[in-house]
Amino acid sequence: QVQLVESGGGLVQAGGSLRLSCAASGRTFSGYVMAWFRQAPGKEREFVAHIVWSGGSTYYAASVKGRFTISRDNTKNLVYLQMNSLKPEDTAVYYCAQRLGREYDTWGQGTQVTVSS
């Protein structure tokens, strides 16, 4: 019913920046929490950041705090992830996700981010 589509991934040099976008085609309710996760090859998926749609409260994983910024555009139903000071260890497929409760049950297809040293 709800579709999430990520875009903006690519290949960048260490220290560079990239902005990811997540477009929600369905309705975005005020109680939704939108988040970014990432998964590197051979590793488990890990949480990156989330934003509460109503109010815009944010939370970050320690590994990205101070470097990444999650934001939203209420009018366009878009969620962004601004990534600065990128490191090779940031290389992963980045996924947009959505939840109303504790479980994320809606996911995008993912977008590849590769950071070279």
| pLDDT for 49 beyond 80 | yes
pLDDT, tens digit, for every residue of 14-39?
999 999 999 988 776 678 899 999 99
pLDDT, tens digit, for every residue of 93-104?
999 999 988 899
Nearest Cα to 39, choosing from 89, 98, 103? Answer: 89
pLDDT value of position 106: 93
Tell me, rounded to whole angstroms, the distance of Cα 73 from its chain centroid.
14
pLDDT value of position 101: 87
For residues 13 and 90, give the distance between their C-alpha atoms in angstroms, rounded to a whole number.
11
Instruction: Check: CB of residue 53 under 8 Å from CB of residue 40.
Output: no
Nearest Cα to 102, choosing from 33, 46, 51? Answer: 33
Instruction: Check: CB of residue 16 under 8 Å from CB of residue 111.
Output: no
